[in-house]
Amino acid sequence: MSTDLQKYSTENQLEAIRRYAEKHGFEICRIYEDAGRSGLTVGGRDGLQQLMKDAQSSVRDFAAILVYDVSRWGRFQDADEAAYYEHICSRSGIRVHYCEEQFDNDGSIGSILLKSVKRVMAGEYSRELSVKVFAGQCRLVELGYRQGGSPGYGLRRELIDENRLSKGELLRGHRKSLQTDRVILTLGPPDEIERIRQIYALFVDEGFSEQQIATRLNSAGTLTDLNRPWTRSSVHQILTNEKYIGNNVYNRISYKLKQKRVVNSRDTWVRADGVYPSVVSRALFERARTIIDARSRHYSDEQLLSMLRTTLNEEGYLSGVIIDERADMPSSSSYRNRFGSLIRAYQLIGYTSERDYRYIEINRRIRSAHPQILRDVISGFEHAGGIVNHNAVSQLLTVNGAFTVALILARALTTNRGLLRWRIRLDTGLVPDITIAVRLRATSCDPLDYYVFPSIDMTMPQLRLEANNSLCLDAYRFEKLDFLYSLAQQCSLGEAA
């Protein structure tokens, strides 16, 4: 289970399993449990990992595994992952019994189909919940409420009720107990506030560097909010974080569904300005940021890359933290601003990180390609004589005031076996009349072909396409969109008659 207070609590599951065991003559010899763990990944789920080891052991002391329902393997985004763990058990001669499912796991076609559907539904539940939770978090941020994370040096978390009345300070490790309660940031102890203002004064007025300020703070025996010595990076964070001027900023980094960690561009940040008490004035904050930005402007691209090569040779690898800790080079944000991203800067010096960040560049190219493809579609309708209204918020196209069109770009993914796949997520919230799914080529962001799906035929929120698909899918495939544009042609009433 990932949270308590739900039907999937471990106590409720165990009770149902015991009833099933008693009814079918099983004796429970061992219990594997992952309490308070997310089912999105196998990481951190010691109970499941130990079960898989024991199932494959030659000295195991059990012959069957009782599971509450299909979703308890996990709400994996790849439905085959849950099937993989069950396959390990069956390959070892162990039958899996689902105690609360309405079918027998007997290998029949019906049970296989139901399990496949249940696995997909388990993953889809997490996806839908993720969208709803993110929308709710964004709304709370815009209202000025804090969403996760430590408050930082000089600030504290304050708990308030639904009437915005204070209920006291939340200490480190403490959480709110009522859903209607909210968390905001408030000023910390006066000595910390004074120290932050001293940091800005030293940096802006006296020309101290972040490293010099950190050395001075450490000499005075002060520690950060994490009870650690000051570093260049911790000082730099205070000089650049907008929470010190009362701004609430969210979605700078996302890690949705525990799949990929993405550093988001500024235009996707969610913010509310001036909702917290400010530690320093906005003018002073802007002066500090101007100094930081100006430090890299007098460097040429080659000089910045040369410093990056030197750091790589001395450190052995690169990261944003390592760059920020170097006093002899600009911060990592300077490299992002100059080259578009740290990954792009790494590529220019021939460095490849151990982590695969190619998806960031691919997603950036797709975002850049989307406006042009959208303009091409609009131009196609208008050339056919249609009138197109484009909603800049929802990105829906309304053609002749008669039907709506959504455009989706699907990038090519390569499987471990070298096969191409395209994942298409249909917008079930806006419910467009027609969805144009553009499959992009594997080597570029150019369209490969088009799938035109009418909403009446599409009930699944997600489709997975291969290079060659069955007729039930390829019936919607087109090389060009001329036939769709023809729907926008208008004629007089007499011609229609």
What CATH number should be reported for the domain holding residue 194?
A: 3.90.1750.20
Cα gap 292→160, rounded to integer Å: 36
Regarding whether 307 and 366 lie in a shared domain, the answer is: no
Which position has the higher pLDDT, 5 or 239?
Answer: 239
**pLDDT (average), residues 125-140:** 79
Note if the pTM is more than 0.85.
no
Query: What is the predicted pLDDT for the residue at 492?
Result: 62
Q: Is 181 helix (H, G, I), strand (E, B) or coil?
A: coil
Whether 1 is covered by a domain: the verdict is no
Whether 17 is covered by a domain: the verdict is yes
Whether 311 is covered by a domain: the verdict is yes
pLDDT above 50: residue 5 = no
pLDDT in tens, 330-346: 878 778 778 877 888 88
Cα gap 367→40, rounded to integer Å: 27
Neighbours of 407 (CB within 10 A): 21
Cα gap 38→47, rounded to integer Å: 12
**pLDDT (average), residues 386-415:** 87
Regarding whether 390 and 341 lie in a shared domain, the answer is: no
pLDDT in tens, 464-486: 888 888 888 888 899 999 989 98
Containing 187, the helix (H) or strand (E) segment is: strand 182-187
Number of domains present in the structure of the chain? 4
Whether 465 is covered by a domain: the verdict is yes
Strand blocks (E) in 232-325: 248-250, 253-254, 262-263, 270-272
pLDDT above 70: residue 160 = yes
Last residue of a domain, one of 132, 147, 172: 132
Whether 121 is covered by a domain: the verdict is yes
- How confident is the prediction for the chain on average, in pLDDT? 83
Lowest pLDDT segment from 233-242, 250-259, 390-399, 459-468: 250-259
Regarding whether 76 and 206 lie in a shared domain, the answer is: no
Compute CA 272 distance to the chain's CA centroid, rounded to the nearest angstrom: 21
Which position has the higher pLDDT, 418 or 199?
Answer: 199
pLDDT above 60: residue 362 = yes
Whether 337 is covered by a domain: the verdict is yes
Regarding whether 160 and 240 lie in a shared domain, the answer is: yes
Neighbours of 399 (CB within 10 A): 23
Regarding whether 475 and 428 lie in a shared domain, the answer is: yes
Regarding whether 317 and 272 lie in a shared domain, the answer is: no
Last residue of a domain, one of 305, 326, 348: 348
Regarding whether 402 and 473 lie in a shared domain, the answer is: yes
Cα gap 97→21, rounded to integer Å: 10
Whether 421 is covered by a domain: the verdict is yes
Regarding whether 368 and 245 lie in a shared domain, the answer is: no
Residues 196/200/206/207 CA torsion (nearest 10 deg): 120
Last residue of a domain, one of 132, 164, 197: 132
Regarding whether 168 and 228 lie in a shared domain, the answer is: yes
Question: Percentage of the chain with pLDDT > 70?
Answer: 90
Regarding whether 304 and 394 lie in a shared domain, the answer is: no
Lowest pLDDT segment from 106-110, 356-360, 396-400, 415-419: 356-360
Query: What is the predicted pLDDT for the residue at 495?
Result: 58
Domain span including residue 317: 295-348
**pLDDT (average), residues 396-417:** 86
Domain harbouring 21, CATH code:
3.40.50.1390
Count of helices and strands (H, E) across the chain: 16, 18
Regarding whether 227 and 178 lie in a shared domain, the answer is: yes
pLDDT in tens, 256-292: 655 566 667 777 788 888 888 999 999 999 999 888 8
Whether 4 is covered by a domain: the verdict is no
Query: What is the predicted pLDDT for the residue at 329?
Result: 80
Question: DSSP states of 371-438 as a string?
Answer: HHHHHHHHHHHHHTT--EEE-TTT--EEETTTEEEEEEEE-EEE-TTS-EEEEEE--TTT--SEEEEE
Cα gap 440→444, rounded to integer Å: 7
pLDDT confidence bin for 191, thresholds 50/70/90: very high
**pLDDT (average), residues 16-31:** 92
Neighbours of 467 (CB within 10 A): 12
Q: Which amino acid is at 134?
A: F
Question: How open is the CA angle 308-309-311, to the nearest 5 degrees?
Answer: 65
**In sequence order, what are the beta bridge partners of 404?**
398
Regarding whether 282 and 159 lie in a shared domain, the answer is: yes
